Amino acid sequence: MSGSTGTLWGLLHQNSPVCLVLYSSIGTLDDTIETVRLVAPSLWRPTRTTDVEDAFRKQDEPLLLTPDDEVAAIMTLDGRREALIERAAPVIMFLLKGGSGEQALRRAPNLAGWLRDAIFDPEPGELDVEQEQCRFAEVTGRSPRQWLDAWQRGDIPDTLDNNVIYQRALLLGEG
Amino acid sequence: MPLNWSKFSPHRPLRPNDPLHVRRPDGGGDQIADWIKAGADTVAIAGPVGSGKSSELAWTASRLQTGFVVVQVPLDRLLDMRQVTEEDVFIQVAGRVVDVAKNYLHIPLSEALLRRLTQADNSPSLPGKLVKPGRDLLLNTLREVSDRSHQGALVLLLDGLEKCEAESAMSVVRALLEVRHETRVVFVAPYPLVVGSGAHELVATIDKFYFVRAVPVRRDQGKHGEDGRAFLREIVRVRLDLPTLPDDLAALLDRAAEASGGVPRSFLQLVRAASQHAALEERNALNLEDVQTAMREHAENLERELVDGDIDQLRAADGTSGVEVPEERRLRLLIHGLLLEYRTNNTTVVHPAPLLQGVLERRGDA
């Protein structure tokens, strides 16, 4: 599944110059960024930026790029992709799932080709929410809502795995 | 001995004389170099993303180092290819030729030329600017380097033009062809300039075309398919620095090769992703599940590049020459590597990227 912790871990440890992380709504963006920070290599000190030019200027820093104009950012990275080859740490770009930036990848073959093994979608498409809620309950012993309540009470330890489960509970708990 | 997966960098093209280079079954850079040695003035290279165009261009450079002054210009590292102009290209090419001539080949160049180059570098091109010194600067540079070098004829290897819009690439190519009498030119061209109705102009002017296609890897492609899989396995053997591949790894690589459709970068991405899944379980050796997981993830990301109507067209095109697919869509599918073109036994056949098979079976566009 493209939403597993393993995928995110692999993606952040594979030395790609650019990675893409999708978020489902602006309200979940900060949580998604926090998950990335947690799974990222411990030595990283990622910098958050909205300016795509930082990808070219700051070649040694891991960047968390949340572009104000997603389409312009995609087109810039597509047109100047090769200038990123020597990056010592990745640009992790956050795009709204199904938004104009993700759609622009269909017109950006150079960047899209690089990203085929470097996209993290915390919530892959065609989700059967009811079925996933049942599966969640089977695995954790709680419904997503109950799990979130327990998390907020501090009953669940703040571990890496539980942070990823938290993301999933957030998505499934809304339903 | 543990396998060292660290040399897998699918995004990084090989460099001239790179020890990781493996000869493509259809010749690749060796073939292009042979054409130049035989007198071809202009060669256009085309292929889908990830097929190895830049790596083959670098290998061409390796093969021409004796007997030619070879200048490789990675335009796509120097310029924003979505906003490039002829003037930008002329100045960058002139600058690169001077750099190679002066610093690597130690050819003495005139102060006047170096001064012109500095002036052009400090005077960026603007759309309305009337004085455009780039073309004359390039002519001066090519002539001076040719006159003063004893190393042989100049060959320019230009990478990155395929990332331009077709129209802008065409004006750059037209401009470059104006100086073809001063130098040999090998360039990577956008697909729309070499395939379909927009290809007539280049077909009439370019000596040779080389298509860096996906290599055949399918079981139904017989000996060609075997050769293609062996080529991709060899890439892994060289990167892992192994004398031979263990049988179990070779079998997994064959599976990844078939899933990649024969696109080397896709193949490397699949193998690297599989190695990451193994690492997650603190294993060094791959297993089938690692490869399958990598394939599933890759398929999900390929699917994101499809637009409405693609699925029906991909289904209909499977096993044909592909010409029935409307041209604009066909070119986009070919460029993205969603539709793969194979040339075997003098016949061109297209197939959808194998990892889209699940999508083609599951989804309907109607």
Chain B neighbors of A125, CB-CB under 8 A: 300
Q: Is residue B18 part of a domain?
A: no
* Backbone torsions φ then ψ of B44, nearest 5 degrees: -105, 135
Per the rule left: phi > 0, alpha: psi between -120 and 50, beta: everything else, A75 is alpha
- Is A143 found in the same domain as A60? no
Question: What is the C-alpha separation between B29 and B77, in angstroms, rounded?
Answer: 21
- Tell me, yes or no, whether B21 lies in a domain: no
Q: Residue A63: beta bridge partners?
A: A47, A91
User: Which among A16, A84, A103 is positioned nearest to B269, based on CA atoms?
Assistant: A16
Same domain (yes/no): B53, B103? yes
- Tell me whether A39 touches chain B (CB under 8 Å): no
In DSSP notation, A17-76 reads SEEEEEESSHHHHHHHHHHHHHHS-TT---EEES-TTHHHH-TTS-EEE--SSHHHHHHH
β B153-159/A47-49 pair status: unpaired
Q: In this structure, are residues B291 and B254 in contact, taking their beta carbons and an 8 Å threshold? A: no
Q: What's the domain count of chain B?
A: 3
Same domain, A158 and A74: no
The reply to whether residue B163 touches residue A79, judged by beta carbons under 8 angstroms, is: yes
**For position A1, what pLDDT does the model report?**
38
Closest CA to B268 of B245, B246, B294: B294
A79 and A20 together in one domain: yes
Contact B280 A6 (CB under 8 A): yes
**A84/A157 same-domain check:** no
Chain B CB contacts of A1 below 8 Å: 296-297
What integer is the mean pLDDT of B290-311?
Answer: 92
Which one-letter amino acid corresponds to residue B160?
Answer: G
User: What's the domain range around B98?
Assistant: 29-211
Give the pLDDT confidence of B224-241 residue by residue, as tens digits. 999 999 999 999 999 999
Number of domains in chain A: 2
Last residue of a domain, one of B211, B227, B262: B211
Distance (Å, rounded) from C-alpha B193 to C-alpha B335?
A: 12
Evaluate whether residue B20 is within a structural domain: no
Chain B residues near residue A77 by CB distance under 8 angstroms:
none
How is residue B210 written in tokens?
A: 């080389």
Q: Are residues B53 and B202 in the same domain?
A: yes
Question: Which domain, by its residues, includes A87?
Answer: 5-120
Give yes or no: residues A33 and A69 share one domain: yes
Q: What is the CATH number of the domain that holds B280?
A: 1.10.8.60
The alpha carbon of residue A153 is apart from the nearest alpha carbon of chain B, in Å, by: 31
Per-residue model confidence (pLDDT) at position B254: 96
Same domain, B139 and B173: yes
Q: Is B218 on the interface with A (CB under 8 A)?
A: no
Minimal Cβ distance to A85: which of B12, B277, B305: B12
Based on the fold, state whether residues B164 and B189 are members of the same structural domain: yes
Question: Out of A150-154, B324-328, B336-340, which region has the weakest mean confidence (pLDDT)?
Answer: A150-154
| Residue B16 counted as domain residue | no
- pLDDT, tens only, B248-299: 999 999 999 999 999 999 999 999 999 988 988 889 999 999 998 899 889 9
Return the top range by mean pLDDT from B72-81, B166-175, B210-219: B210-219
In a domain, B219, yes or no: yes
Specify whether B330 is located in the same domain as B347: yes
- Radius of gyration (Cα) for chain B, nearest Å? 22
Does residue B85 lie in a domain region?
Answer: yes
Contacts of B273 in chain A (CB under 8 A): 10, 14, 117
Same domain, yes or no, for A93 and A152?
Answer: no
Residues A161, A104 share a domain: no
For residue B248, the model assigns a pLDDT of: 95
ipTM: 0.84
pLDDT of B199 over the 80 cut: yes
Highest mean pLDDT among A118-127, B124-133, B134-143: B134-143
Interface test with B, best of A18, A21, A100, A117 (most B CBs within 10 A): A117
User: Do A18 and A97 share a domain, yes or no?
Assistant: yes
The verdict on A113 touching B (C-beta cutoff 8 Å) is yes
Percent of all residues in chain B with a pLDDT value above 70, rounded to a whole number: 96
Q: Collect all residues of chain A within an 8 Å Cβ-Cβ radius of residue B50.
A: 113
Considering the domain architecture, whether residues A143 and A65 belong to the same structural domain is answered as no
Across all residues in chain B, what is the average pLDDT? 91
Dihedral angle of Cα B47, B51, B57, B62, to the nearest 10 degrees: -150
**Pair (B60, B172) in one structural domain:** yes
Same domain, A102 and A17: yes
pLDDT digits 0-9 by tens, A67-110:
999 999 999 999 899 999 989 999 999 999 999 999 999 999 99
Taking phi first (over 0 means left), then psi (-120 to 50 degrees means alpha), and beta for anything else, what does residue A45 get?
beta
Q: pTM for the complete prediction?
A: 0.85
Write out residues in chain A with pLDDT < 50, as ranges.
1, 175
Q: Do A69 and A152 belong to one domain? A: no
Q: Is the pLDDT of residue B46 over 90?
A: yes
- For range B133-139, the mean pLDDT: 90
Instruction: List chain A residues with CB under 8 Å of B305.
Output: 105-106, 109, 112
pLDDT at residue B59 tops 80: yes
pLDDT value of position A172 = 75
- pLDDT at position B167, please? 85
Same domain, B298 and B338: no
Classify residue B15: in a domain, yes or no.
no
State the pLDDT confidence band at B366, using cuts at 50, 70 and 90: very low
Is residue A13 located within the same domain as residue A96? Answer: yes
B337 in the same domain as B298: no
Residue B25 Cα, gap to closest chain A Cα (Å): 23
